[in-house]
Structure 1
Amino acid sequence: MSADRRTRLSQVVQPLTSLDEFSADQAKAVCEQAKPAYVTSTLKALVRGGILQQVIVNDQHRFRWCEPERFQPEKWIDQQIHGVQITETPVEERPRERLIRDGAASLSNGDLLAILIRVGIRNESAIVGGNRIGNRFAARLEKLPRCDRDELREITRTINRASYAQIMAGIELGRRVAAAEGDNRQDKIKITSTQSAIEYCTAEFARLATDAVQEEFHIVSLDTKHQPIRTHQITVGTLDASLVHPREVFRPAIRDAASAVLLVHNHPSGDPTPSREDIQVTERLTEAGKLLGITVLDHIIVASQRCLSIREAS
């Protein structure tokens, strides 16, 4: 019975892997050995498992592989036949054991998520849940931190209060580790040009480009060698000259004994083009800095498209 099912699944899955993107009719045509209804049910199983995603191209419903380089047809077929409960997976192949043996970098996003989910539910293991989320966010992992529990639960029922908290805690810890690594490298960084300012802000304020839903205004205080001392959040909300007061901007810079500052804010729209207000704020703070003996080196706008220097754009 298992051998027959394996053959039927192979007659659908193997031909499909030769296609990058296809319609249901194209799938049925290429899987000529399988009955059309069986092709349809297999496509649904691949979509449920997060292996395929349904997209609309030129008003037509089509299928596209989520992570084609990671998809292992034989392994997936085995899972359909024998199930994917962790207790039925060989010990040496379980994500936690592979992490300990081979290191975290060797695991897929789905494997890492499965470890964070920890416990599955009836008919759906943590491995399945992790793979579904991993596949769904394969091409847009940066969006995962912004998902609430209900959104993830729509993808897999393995998400409950505990597993959601574990995933978000893991993401935040990763961010803090990355930030700490960045802090340790700061003594080697010097903001000596527009390009170095953009590169620094792209790395240091990556969260603003991907996660922030409101405008945030920050400064980077710099020493006499133009090495970063510290970053400070000044305001949250629409950038306005009346809100970004020189007193609030330069107070932390004076505390840091800064010689210069870098102004930074984000555009949640994704377009870094400076507004008239952005330029006015830059000019006002530049003049205030001259009175205090603190140079405003540049004003960098962070956006999902790219980072932009107002000095260079003006």
Structure 2
Amino acid sequence: MERMAAVAMVEWAESAGDGSVREEKETLLEAESPRERLFRLGAAALTDPELLSVLLGSGSRTRALAEALLATSGGLKALVQRDPHELCTRMGPARTAQLLAALELGRRAQRVTERRPRLRTPKEIHAYLAPNLSALRREVFHVLCFNARNVLLLDARVAEGTINACPVDPREVFAAAISSRATAIVLAHNHPSGDPEPSGQDLGLTAQLIEAGRVLGIKVLDHVVVGDGTYCSLLERGEMPLLGAETRGPWSMEGGRG
């Protein structure tokens, strides 16, 4: 804390026009720990290795471990997608548990707090889904079930797959919709690669489910593919009508791609 106060004093002197303090400031900043920088500047100012070292513990060895983990993993997103047992061999079970717990807390903090939120646009759907889907190491398929006022009645995960495929049983999709007495559904799945561009299989499955929904009287409003910080909505791209969906539905088209 004393070093933080010293840095603040040096910055004040520098702002007053005293150019001789610049070297002293650089020396102090080099010696400043990530934890001290966090309290002085806020967490957003820290680099990924600094944030990781704060989480894992103090000291230069921890900082070196954090930098090595990120370098060998290919970045923060790749690190959090690694198998927990593999991480244990690099930094031990206690630190691995700390990392996994911190990631889960971050995801939960971003979740919609309403039990039955009203979701009216693809952008709102993506904001709702991203905390749970964007960092997964395998594909999962969700069915979001809505009433006529866009209120989410049920968010059902109906399939789990591998890193690049997720077989979906249409019976599971509409079982969720029927059990919740939904009038409309939105299909959603993630791409662990980070690229939300839908595949030919995604488009074929969407067309199949649209047709099944017609028979059951349940509208398929959209298919949202979640990527790394972004998404693809077939409705926004104008592909749902081409696949045979109704052009009219309860969704408004406010907002754009996230």
TM-score bucket (shorter structure)? 0.5 to 0.7
- Of residues 205, 219, 239, the one that matches 2:143 is 219
Q: 2: distance between equivalents of 1:239 and 1:161?
A: 30
Asked whether 1:257 is paired with 2:164, we answer: no
Would the aligned equivalents of 2:144 and 2:155 in 1 still touch at CA under 8 Å? yes
Residue type of the partner of 2:56? I
- Pair 167,276 (structure 1): closer, same or farther in 2 beyond 3 Å: closer
Would the aligned equivalents of 2:43 and 2:51 in 1 still touch at CA under 8 Å? no
Q: 1: distance between equivalents of 2:70 and 2:169?
A: 46
- Of residues 91, 96, 107, the one that matches 1:164 is 96
- Of residues 216, 222, 228, the one that matches 1:298 is 222
- Of residues 105, 126, 146, the one that matches 1:173 is 105
Asked whether 1:118 is paired with 2:42, we answer: no
Aligned residue for 1:95?
A: 35
User: 1:225-269 CA distances to partner (integer Å, 9 max, x unpaired)?
Assistant: 0122332111122657xx423221011222222221100122334
SS of 1:252's partner is: helix
- Of residues 115, 119, 122, the one that matches 1:190 is 119
- Superposition misfits of 4+ residues, deviation over 6 angstroms: 149-154
Residue type of the partner of 1:257? R
Per the TM alignment, residue 173 of structure 1 is displaced from its structure 2 partner at its CA by 1.8
Per the TM alignment, residue 219 of structure 1 is displaced from its structure 2 partner at its CA by 0.9
Would the aligned equivalents of 1:215 and 1:239 in 2 still touch at CA under 8 Å? yes
SS of 1:268's partner is: coil
Q: 2: distance between equivalents of 1:248 and 1:272?
A: 23
User: 1:94-136 CA distances to partner (integer Å, 9 max, x unpaired)?
Assistant: 839x76xx8975773556544432365xxx355x358747986
Q: 2: distance between equivalents of 1:244 and 1:115?
A: 41
- Of residues 266, 269, 274, the one that matches 2:198 is 274
Would the aligned equivalents of 1:213 and 1:268 in 2 still touch at CA under 8 Å? yes
Larger radius of gyration: 1
Unaligned runs of 5+ in 1: 1-71, 85-93
Q: 1: distance between equivalents of 2:69 and 2:42?
A: 15
- Report the aligned-residue RMSD: 4.0
Residue type of the partner of 1:95? R
Residue type of the partner of 2:101? A
Would the aligned equivalents of 1:202 and 1:307 in 2 still touch at CA under 8 Å? no
Would the aligned equivalents of 1:190 and 1:225 in 2 still touch at CA under 8 Å? no
Would the aligned equivalents of 1:221 and 1:230 in 2 still touch at CA under 8 Å? yes
Per the TM alignment, residue 144 of structure 1 is displaced from its structure 2 partner at its CA by 3.6
Q: 1: distance between equivalents of 2:78 and 2:116?
A: 27
Residue type of the partner of 1:75? L
Report the more deviating stretch, 103-112 or 246-255. 103-112
Residue type of the partner of 2:202? D
Per the TM alignment, residue 296 of structure 1 is displaced from its structure 2 partner at its CA by 0.9
Q: TM-score, normalised by structure 1?
A: 0.53
Q: 1: distance between equivalents of 2:194 and 2:44?
A: 33
Unaligned runs of 5+ in 2: 1-24, 243-258
| Alignment coverage as a number of residue pairs | 210
Would the aligned equivalents of 1:267 and 1:301 in 2 still touch at CA under 8 Å? yes
Would the aligned equivalents of 1:117 and 1:130 in 2 still touch at CA under 8 Å? no
- Which structure exhibits the higher relative contact order, with contacts defined as CA atoms closer than 8 Å and separated by 6 or more residues? 2
Aligned residue for 1:74?
A: 27
Would the aligned equivalents of 1:149 and 1:160 in 2 still touch at CA under 8 Å? no
- Of residues 130, 133, 157, the one that matches 1:205 is 130
Would the aligned equivalents of 1:239 and 1:277 in 2 still touch at CA under 8 Å? no
Aligned residue for 2:81?
A: 146
Identity %: 30
1:53-68 alignment, distance < 5 Å: none
- Pair 103,247 (structure 1): closer, same or farther in 2 beyond 3 Å: farther
Q: 1: distance between equivalents of 2:82 and 2:124?
A: 28
